Amino acid sequence: MMVQPFGARLRAAMDERGPLCVGIDPHAALLQAWGLADDIAGLETFTRTVVDALADRVAVLKPQSAFFERFGSRGIAVLEAAVADARSAGALVIMDAKRGDIGSTMAGYAAAYVDKNSPLASDAVTVSPYLGFGSLRPVLDLAAEQGAGVFVLALTSNPEGAEVQRATAADGSSVAAAMLRHIAVENAGARGLGSVGAVVGATLGEVGVDLDINGPLLAPGIGAQGATPADIPKVFGAAARNVVPSVSREVLRHGPSAAGLRDAAARYAEECQAAVN
């Protein structure tokens, strides 16, 4: 059976459930705040609670791979189960792995995260293009073949990112602008929303680049980093409808209560929908 492209599935999910992505970030301080030990049992309880509470109602869940990797193979097993359970409940899963490499190594990362036969197979994966956009070709090609998505780091919300992303090329344009142009080329001809997206921080204020990439814009920074849903139209302008606002701590801090998590996610989804409209 032909799988719908990720962009089409993402648009449908956001239209049905609202444009919200909730991060699954089980870092030590958050486990402690939930009254859980910083061990594999705490990780499993935390992750299962978030998935059970939210996967049947939010458009996107975004596990941060690093917080699972730190527990070794047992942590990866928890991540595998979370991805499968979240997708079974109807949420799209963006694996926040930020992988970036060349050649066969990049092909290996692609097989891990977007090949439907992998136990970590997700609907999309985040990648870093700063070994050159062409280094992403293995993941871009496999994702297109499998109906998956790719989110390319373009203008991130961390202040250190500007050193590379705002650097200018010989033509005077920024590196970030060049990455966005490459993404637009990947999405050329896509019907509806393209499947190659960009990561653009919601905290940036004036981005100063063309965000018309015919693809989704994953926007971290809402909540604990200081941005609000009201910032979406200010930062993204005409591209606001294609924004996937990402909230982590400001939803997760309402756990371990499932009702608290659901209420917080519903509130952010409603505020983000109003801002986009």
Instruction: Assess whether 116 carries a catalytic annotation.
Output: no
Q: Are 219 and 247 in contact (CB under 8 A)?
A: no
Catalytic pick among 62, 98, 116, 234 = 98
219 Cβ contact partners less than 8 Å away, ≥ 6 residues apart? 199, 200, 201, 202, 227, 232, 235, 236, 243, 244, 245, 246
Residue type, 214: N
Burial class (CB in 10 A: 0-12, 13-18, 19+), 227: buried
Question: Whole-angstrom Cα distance, residue 222 to residue 220?
Answer: 6
Positions marked catalytic:
98
